[in-house]
Amino acid sequence: MTGNPEASSGTPNENNPDSTVKAAERPLAAACEFQGLAIQAREKCREEFRRSEREVDNNLRISVDGQIAALVATLSRRFAKVDETISYQIGITASFARTHFIVTDLILNGDLVEAITLIRKQLESLARLHELDSKPLEKLHGRTPNIGILFRNGGGEFYGHLSEVAHFSKPRVAELMRVIQAGERISPSLLPEFTDHSFACLDMNHFVAIYFLGWITEKLSEWYLDADYAGERRLFSMTLAYAEKIGVIRFPDRPNTMLN
C-alpha of 41 from chain center: 19
What is the rounded distance in angstroms from the CA atom of residue 54 to the CA atom of residue 77? 37
How far from 159 is each of 55, 76, 95, 132, CA to CA, in Å?
A: 28, 32, 19, 20
Q: In residues, how long is the chain?
A: 260
pLDDT of residue 151: 75
Structure confidence by residue, pLDDT tens digits, 109-130: 999 999 999 999 999 999 999 9
Q: Give residues with Cβ within 8 angstroms of 65, minimum separation 6.
A: 100, 101, 104
Which residue did the predictor score with more confidence, 228 or 10?
228
pTM: 0.83
pLDDT of residue 78: 82
pLDDT of residue 183: 63
pLDDT of residue 14: 59
Average pLDDT over residues 23-39: 89
Q: Give residues with Cβ within 8 angstroms of 152, minimum separation 6.
A: 252, 257, 258, 259
Please answer whether residues 64 and 211 qualify as being in contact, where contact means their C-beta atoms are separated by less than 8 angstroms. no
pLDDT of residue 8: 46
pLDDT of residue 258: 35
What is the rounded distance in angstroms from the CA atom of residue 206 to the CA atom of residue 60? 8
Please answer whether residues 198 and 50 qualify as being in contact, where contact means their C-beta atoms are separated by less than 8 angstroms. no
C-alpha of 115 from chain center: 4
Structure confidence by residue, pLDDT tens digits, 43-67: 999 999 999 999 999 999 999 999 9
pLDDT of residue 17: 67
Please answer whether residues 224 and 77 qualify as being in contact, where contact means their C-beta atoms are separated by less than 8 angstroms. yes
Q: What is the dihedral of CA 74, 76, 78, 84, to 10 degrees?
A: 100
Instruction: Using the predicted structure, report yes or no on whether residue 5 has a pLDDT greater than 70.
Output: no
What is the rounded distance in angstroms from the CA atom of residue 74 to the CA atom of residue 82? 15
What is the rounded distance in angstroms from the CA atom of residue 66 to the CA atom of residue 60? 10
In three-state secondary structure terms, 81 is coil
